[in-house]
Amino acid sequence: MIKNKRKLLLFGASGSIGSAIAGKFASHSWDVIGVTRGQPSSSASISWNLLGKDAPVPLESLRHYETFDAVCWAQGQNCNDSIYHFDEQLHRDVYEANVIYILKSLSILLDNNLLQKPAKLCVISSIWQNLSRQKKLSYGVSKAAIQGLVLSIANDIGIDGHLINAVLPGALDTPMTHKNLTKEQMDVVVNSTQFGRLANLDDVANAAYFLCSPENTGVTGQFIKVDLGYSDVRLI
């Protein structure tokens, strides 16, 4: 780690979106410190089972990096469910992974003065926080909660100059999307705009990078859709 390099604390660094974000920041000479709930894969990873009962906070590991210039939450949990087969525990698990995880980790970072002043914060949410998709009850509820989370936090942390925003990807051109959507469903999304393609991981990483970069000096409490206009601009 080179002293005075900008540092990003990245939750969910091993996922497809997290990996793209890590690569983007690393290409701009940032130190990227990934957080994993499992065994760290490198010296630049921290094991932090944030939702485990009585799980210790790795303060020694976190303090090794002094303070973080930016934090990005790209972790989360997805599932298919509906009110016709409601599972309360599954719903709680998804909500904890997608909402409580962010609140708890940010609270700990603030309480232990682990953020630069000001710091840039970015939450990877989804366009499905504003739109409804069939059989996505728990996921949709948890993502809708991100709206209030980001707005409330943006208000509170403004006193220290911190900025927080969310990136809302749509259906992305990833193996998981190709696995979970039928060809007919994919065609509906692709043909809804004039781009003739799905948004991709680079599109999401670029948005996250800007929001966390020194170039962002006044954007906070915002929700940036990365879906090539699918949510708002339709080809008919």
- The pLDDT averaged over each successive group of 10 residues in the chain (236 residues) is 81 93 97 87 84 87 96 95 97 97 97 97 97 94 98 98 97 85 89 93 98 98 97 87
| DSSP codes joined into one string, 8-71 | EEEETTTSHHHHHHHHHHHHTT-EEEEEESS--SSTTEEE--TTSTTPPP-HHHHHTT--EEEE
Q: What is the pLDDT of residue 79?
A: 94
Q: Sketch the domain layout of the chain as residue ranges.
A: 7-172+201-226
Residue whose token pair is 């989370």: 149
Q: What is the pLDDT of residue 1?
A: 47
pTM for the whole thing? 0.94
Residues 162 and 117 sit within 8 Å (Cβ to Cβ): yes
Q: Does domain 7-172+201-226 have CATH number 3.40.50.720?
A: yes
Scanning the chain, the segments in alpha helix (DSSP H) are: 16-27, 59-63, 88-95, 101-111, 137-157, 175-180, 183-190, 201-212
Angle (CA) 154-227-203 rounded to 5° is: 80
